[in-house]
């Protein structure tokens, strides 16, 4: 039979474990990829994405290695020209240091679905 002090420690341990588990997913970021549609700009110092219908801007990391390549093949005369993209990725907190530090979140692109110079006015304005 367990003593009452042992029961308290078991209960306390369970409570701490449950709190720790609950806090793991509480920041709004998860690892399940999602399709994002919006405007992407690329240049020497900026890799940014603005989701259609939202005002927030995100830093972009291209783990697909396709987004930056396809953007550069559009042969713009100057950098930072926005293009419409549809990408699959996840949002994560931005690093505290480096070029993307001024952004709250980073969009990690895992797959490029679509990239075009034509910005659809009905979707993204």
pLDDT tens per residue across span 54-104: 888 999 999 999 999 999 999 999 999 999 999 999 999 998 888 888 998
Specify the 3-state DSSP secondary structure of 91: strand
Q: What is the pTM of this model?
A: 0.72
Q: Rounded to an integer, what distance in angstroms lies between the CA atom of residue 67 and that of residue 61?
A: 9
Q: CA angle, corner 10, sides to 4 and 13, nearest 5?
A: 140
How many CA atoms within 13 Å lie on the side-chain side of 54?
Answer: 10
- Give the list of residues 6+ apart from residue 120 with CB closer than 8 angstroms, or none: 84
- Give the list of residues 6+ apart from residue 108 with CB closer than 8 angstroms, or none: 61, 63, 89, 90, 91, 92
How large is the average pLDDT for residues 2-26? 42
Does residue 50 carry a pLDDT above 90?
yes
CATH for 34-116 (3.40.50.720, 3.40.50.1820, 3.20.20.70, 2.40.50.140): 2.40.50.140
CA dihedral 28, 104, 107, 45 (to 10 degrees): 180
pLDDT in tens, 96-121: 888 888 998 999 999 999 999 999 88
């Amino acid at each position: 039979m367990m003593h009452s002090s042992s029961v308290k420690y078991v209960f306390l341990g369970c409570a701490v474990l449950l709190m720790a588990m609950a806090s793991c997913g509480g920041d709004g970021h998860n690892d399940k990829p999602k399709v994002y549609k919006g405007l992407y700009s690329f240049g020497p110092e900026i890799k940014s994405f603005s989701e259609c219908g939202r005002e927030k801007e995100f830093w972009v990391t291209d783990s697909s290695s396709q987004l930056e390549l396809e953007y550069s093949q559009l042969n713009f005369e100057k950098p930072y020209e926005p293009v419409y993209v549809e990408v699959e990725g996840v949002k994560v907190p931005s690093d505290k240091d480096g070029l993307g530090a001024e952004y709250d979140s980073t969009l990690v692109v895992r797959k490029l679905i679509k990239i075009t110079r034509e910005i659809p006015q009905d979707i993204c304005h």
